[in-house]
Amino acid sequence: GAGVSQSPSNKVTEKGKDVELRCDPISGHTALYWYRQSLGQGLEFLIYFQGNSAPDKSGLPSDRFSAERTGGSVSTLTIQRTQQEDSAVYLCASSLDKGAHNEQFFGPGTRLTVL
């Protein structure tokens, strides 16, 4: 079956522009995560969605970052007024449910470059 997909795979934008990144989780997966991976760094938690519950936004680095998940499936991460330090790979992951019995599957990521 299809895995987690993300689009676009690469995005180059100018400083100050807004960008939208999309994540299609595996069908039926209720848990969805966004992470940021800067060059040579680990995965930084950004936001978590679980079903219809309020998301955990505690990892969003500033109010320029927001995310939504429509209909419990597709998610978009929006970065407003992009800055050069936003350049990174943005990874989405989904799992069937939360907790230790549910493997987390990653998408291929979106590489964002802010000029």
Partner 1 sequence: GENVEQHPSTLSVQEGDSAVIKCTYSDSASNYFPWYKQELGKRPQLIIDIRSNVGEKKDQRIAVTLNKTAKHFSLHITETQPEDSAVYFCAALATYKYIFGTGTRLKVLA
Note the residues at the interface with partner 1 (CB under 8 A). 31, 33, 35, 40-45, 48, 50, 56, 91, 98-100, 103-104, 106-109
Q: In terms of CB distance, is 19 or 31 closer to partner 1?
A: 31
The rounded distance, in Å, linking the Cα atoms of 95 and 28 is: 9
The rounded distance, in Å, linking the Cα atoms of 67 and 48 is: 9
Q: Rounded to whole angstroms, what are the CA distances from 78 to 28, 48, 99?
A: 24, 14, 27
Minimal distance in Å, beta carbon 81 to partner 1? 27
Q: In terms of CB distance, is 46 or 114 closer to partner 1?
A: 46
Report the length, in residues, of the chain.
115
Minimal distance in Å, beta carbon 109 to partner 1? 6
The rounded distance, in Å, linking the Cα atoms of 36 and 60 is: 10
Q: In terms of CB distance, is 65 or 90 closer to partner 1?
A: 90
Minimal distance in Å, beta carbon 46 to partner 1? 11
